[in-house]
């Protein structure tokens, strides 16, 4: 009986991972807490190693771990409070000025990012369609609070569209 229950729980956790972090590898959902307004998701990066952003050396030596809470896109009409446990690695290179660094999750987080990549791209799309104040207003309807200058900054940070070479 207990074995069955554990299997059912594992199944639920796997489905949650698929639902909340599709196409993002090495991430485990630890818990999901839902109330009327907010979905609180506790997750953990399970990457065994990362490349140092300073010198590129691969490291699997975990220095420590800590919680990050990047703002995430709302889910099913509720705000999402993401609590992501990330690992700090030690750089193995003696030539490198950087002693430790944080392993990033491509597609989910970036250095110094206060938002997940999906929230960032949603807001940038809103900003492209409705710059500045109107964009900030629509974002607040979507349940995300953001200033008009931040909307514009996200649009500025988008890569330039590729112009096909003329024949
Ligand atoms: Zn390094």
Q: Give 61 Cα–ligand 1 centroid separation in angstroms.
A: 12
Asked if the model's pLDDT at residue 122 lies above 80, the reply is: no
What is the longest distance spanned by two Cα atoms in the chain?
Answer: 69
Predicted confidence at residue 119, as pLDDT, reads: 72
Query: Would you call 82 helix, strand, or coil by DSSP?
Result: strand
Q: Give 103 Cα–ligand 1 centroid separation in angstroms.
A: 12
Q: Of the ranges 7-16, 44-53, 115-124, 152-161, which is most confident?
A: 44-53
Q: Quick one: average pLDDT of 98-126? A: 77
Predicted confidence at residue 140, as pLDDT, reads: 72
Between 29 and 115, residue with greater pLDDT? 29
> What's the number of CA atoms in the CB half-sphere (13 Å) around residue 156?
7
Predicted confidence at residue 45, as pLDDT, reads: 85
Extents of the domains making up the chain: 26-104, 115-160
- pLDDT tens profile 5-55: 777 777 777 777 777 777 777 888 888 888 888 888 888 888 889 999 999
Predicted confidence at residue 161, as pLDDT, reads: 63
Q: Give 48 Cα–ligand 1 centroid separation in angstroms.
A: 17
Q: Give 146 Cα–ligand 1 centroid separation in angstroms.
A: 34
Q: Quick one: average pLDDT of 111-127? A: 72
Among 5, 120, 36, smallest CA distance to 71 is for: 120
- pLDDT tens profile 78-111: 778 888 888 999 999 999 999 999 888 777 777 7
Q: Rounded to whole angstroms, how far apart are CA atoms 56 and 44?
A: 23
Q: Give 64 Cα–ligand 1 centroid separation in angstroms.
A: 16
């Amino acid at each position: 009986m207990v074995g069955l229950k554990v299997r059912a729980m594992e199944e639920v956790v796997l489905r949650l991972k698929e639902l909340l972090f599709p196409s993002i590898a090495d991430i485990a959902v630890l818990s999901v807490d839902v109330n009327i307004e907010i979905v609180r998701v506790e997750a953990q990066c399970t990457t065994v190693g990362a490349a140092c952003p300073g010198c590129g050396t691969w490291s699997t030596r975990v220095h420590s771990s800590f919680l990050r809470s990047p703002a995430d896109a709302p889910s099913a009409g509720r705000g999402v409070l993401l609590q992501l446990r990330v690992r700090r690695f030690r750089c193995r290179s003696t030539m490198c000025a950087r002693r430790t660094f944080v392993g990033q999750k491509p597609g989910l987080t970036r250095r110094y990012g206060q938002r997940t990549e999906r929230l960032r791209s949603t807001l940038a799309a809103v900003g492209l369609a409705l710059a500045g104040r109107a964009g900030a207003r629509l974002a607040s309807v979507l349940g995300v609070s953001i200033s008009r200058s931040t909307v514009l900054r996200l649009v500025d940070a988008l890569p330039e569209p590729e112009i096909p070479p003329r024949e």
